Structure 1
Amino acid sequence: MFENKNYETELNDFIENWKTDELNAKPAFARLKDKLLKKKNTLLSFHSRAGITYSLRATIKKSSAKDNPLFAMVDIIDDDPANRWLSVCFFGDMITDPDEIGDFVPEGLLGQDAHCFDYDNQDEELLLYIEQRIDEAHAYMCDEQNN
Structure 2
Amino acid sequence: MTELDTFLDAWTDDPKGVKKAFLRLKSVLEGLGEATVTFVPRPPASYSLRAEPPRGRPVITMVDVATFDGEKFLSVCFYADTITDPEERGDLIPEGLLSKDGYCFDLDSDDDDAVSYVEARIFEAAAAFSLTEDGPCTEVDDDD
TM-score, with length taken from structure 1: 0.85
Q: Which amino acid aligns with 2:85?
A: D
Deviation for aligned residue 1:78: 2.9
Structure with a larger share of its residues in helix: 1
Deviation for aligned residue 1:49: 1.3
Q: Counterpart in 2 of 1:75?
A: 64
| SS of match in other structure, 2:129 | helix
Q: Counterpart in 1 of 2:125?
A: 137
**Identity of paired residues, percent?**
41
Report if aligned partners of 2:50, 2:63 keep a CA contact under 8 Å in 1. Answer: yes
CA deviations on 1:6-31 (whole Å, 9 max, x unpaired) are: xx811111111111123321000000
Report if aligned partners of 1:69, 1:141 keep a CA contact under 8 Å in 2. Answer: no
Residue 108 in 1 paired to residue 96 in 2?
yes
Deviation for aligned residue 1:45: 1.1
Task: Output the CA distance in 2 between the equivalents of 1:139 and 1:10.
Answer: 29
Deviation for aligned residue 1:102: 0.5
Q: Counterpart in 1 of 2:16?
A: 23
Residue 120 in 1 paired to residue 108 in 2?
yes
Q: Counterpart in 2 of 1:85?
A: 73
Q: Which aligned runs of 4 or more in structure 1 are off by greater than 6 angstroms?
A: none
TM-score, with length taken from structure 2: 0.86
Deviation for aligned residue 1:79: 4.2
Q: Of residues 9, 34, 41 in structure 2, which corresponds to 1:41? A: 34
| SS of match in other structure, 1:46 | strand
Q: CA RMSD in A?
A: 1.8
CA deviations on 1:56-87 (whole Å, 9 max, x unpaired) are: 000112x1x2xx1311000000345x511000
C-alpha distance 99-37 of structure 1, shift in aligned 2 (>3 A): same
The number of residue pairs the alignment matches comes to 135
Structure 1: gaps of 5 or more residues: 1-7
Report if aligned partners of 1:91, 1:114 keep a CA contact under 8 Å in 2. Answer: yes
C-alpha distance 122-45 of structure 1, shift in aligned 2 (>3 A): closer
Q: Which amino acid aligns with 2:121?
A: R
